[in-house]
Amino acid sequence: MVKREPVELKLREQVVLKLRELILGGELAAGQRVAEIPISERLGVSRTPVRQALTVLAQEGLLSAAGKRGYVVHAFSAKDITDAIEVRGILEGAAARIATETGISEELRQALEVCIAEGEVIAMKDHYGMADDVRWVEVNGRFHKLIVEASANIALISALALNDKLPFASATAVLGGDTPSRIIARKHHEVVRRAHAEHKKIVEALCSRQGARVESLMQEHARLAEANVTLFRST
């Protein structure tokens, strides 16, 4: 059964997606102040999901707190994004290898298969939009979290949590959904489909206890995030 999210959570995630794109595209420039009221008016939503979204983006390293005046957009370069995604791939690859060598439980296998089933519904749709991205963020994030936690390596898990605070490093830092360009939307949908296909290969390698292969797959998989960022950065 496909998990349904509360309306409030969906709205917050839609705001998060839109603000990520505005920051990456430079419409919200480095050093620019970002406050609830102007953003809520710009996006046509209430202040509550905006407030929640700003907190999420601050945790991702895209915004820095500016006291009662709200937030300012954090400065970062393309290299900063690439470096952070590369580190995530290395750490997640190590986590997957450790989990594979230890042997995954039946409970974990079933949980990953649920992610695959839900991802299939999302990725293989004929028409893909922001609502689908909101669902993909949750499924993709859950998939990665399951594998990382299966390593049971506290140091590795902590290192990933720290890396997730860098811009666009986290597996949940998805871009997409609301773009006026049909070409960009189509290419983004293709990236999601590729990501889903790679999820299938990763689960297969995990279940087959192919440690070296799953480590390599996870590292390669992380690079899709870089491809998606590059796609939206060029718009």
Q: What is the DSSP string of 176-205?
A: -S--S-HHHHHHHHHHHHHHHHHHHHHHHH
On whether the CB atoms of residues 196 and 64 are closer than 8 A, the answer is no
Task: Report yes or no on 14 lying in a domain.
Answer: yes
> What percent of the chain is modeled with pLDDT above 70?
93
User: Is the domain of 215 the same as that of 105?
Assistant: yes
**Residue 217: is its pLDDT beyond 70?**
yes
Structure tokens at 213: 């292969």
User: Is the domain of 28 the same as that of 134?
Assistant: no
Of the ranges 60-69, 82-91, 118-127, which one carries the lowest mean pLDDT score? 60-69
**Residue 187: is its pLDDT beyond 80?**
yes
> What percent of the chain is modeled with pLDDT above 90?
74
Provide the sign of the torsion angle of the four alpha carbons 152, 214, 90, 81, taken in this order.
negative
User: Is the domain of 82 the same as that of 69?
Assistant: no
**In which band, very low, low, confident or very high, does the pLDDT at 66 lie, cut at 50, 70 and 90?**
confident
Domain final residue pick, 73, 88, 119: 73
Question: How big is the CA angle at 114 (ends 2 and 170), to the nearest 5 degrees?
Answer: 95
pLDDT for the residue 77: 92
**In which band, very low, low, confident or very high, does the pLDDT at 70 lie, cut at 50, 70 and 90?**
confident
User: Is the domain of 116 the same as that of 162?
Assistant: yes
**Residue 193: is its pLDDT beyond 70?**
yes
User: Is the domain of 67 the same as that of 89?
Assistant: no
* Distance (Å, whole) CA 124 – CA 190: 10
User: Is the domain of 100 the same as that of 215?
Assistant: yes
pLDDT for the residue 2: 44
* Distance (Å, whole) CA 88 – CA 140: 14
Task: Provide the domain count of the chain.
Answer: 2
**In which band, very low, low, confident or very high, does the pLDDT at 1 lie, cut at 50, 70 and 90?**
very low
pLDDT one-digit tens code per residue, 3-25: 445 556 688 999 999 999 899 98
User: Is the domain of 102 the same as that of 83?
Assistant: yes
pTM of the predicted model over 0.75? yes
pLDDT mean over 22-48: 92
* Distance (Å, whole) CA 141 – CA 166: 16
User: Is the domain of 202 the same as that of 183?
Assistant: yes
User: Is the domain of 107 the same as that of 24?
Assistant: no
Q: What is the CATH number of the domain that holds 226?
A: 1.20.120.530
Q: What is the CATH number of the domain that holds 21?
A: 1.10.10.10
pLDDT one-digit tens code per residue, 117-154: 999 999 999 888 888 998 999 999 999 999 999 999 99
User: Is the domain of 205 the same as that of 102?
Assistant: yes
Of the ranges 29-33, 93-97, 131-135, 172-176, which one carries the lowest mean pLDDT score? 172-176
Q: For residue 74, which phi and psi values (nearest 5 degrees)?
A: -75, 140
Of the ranges 79-83, 161-165, 183-187, which one carries the lowest mean pLDDT score? 183-187
pLDDT mean over 88-117: 97
User: Is the domain of 19 the same as that of 118?
Assistant: no
User: Is the domain of 104 the same as that of 47?
Assistant: no
Question: Which of these, 145, 146, 147, 140, lies nearest to 94 by C-alpha position?
Answer: 147
Task: Report yes or no on 66 lying in a domain.
Answer: yes
Of the ranges 52-56, 133-137, 180-184, which one carries the lowest mean pLDDT score? 180-184
Task: Report yes or no on 1 lying in a domain.
Answer: no
Provide the sign of the torsion angle of the four alpha carbons 226, 24, 158, 118, taken in this order.
negative
Residue ranges making up the domain that contains 49: 7-73
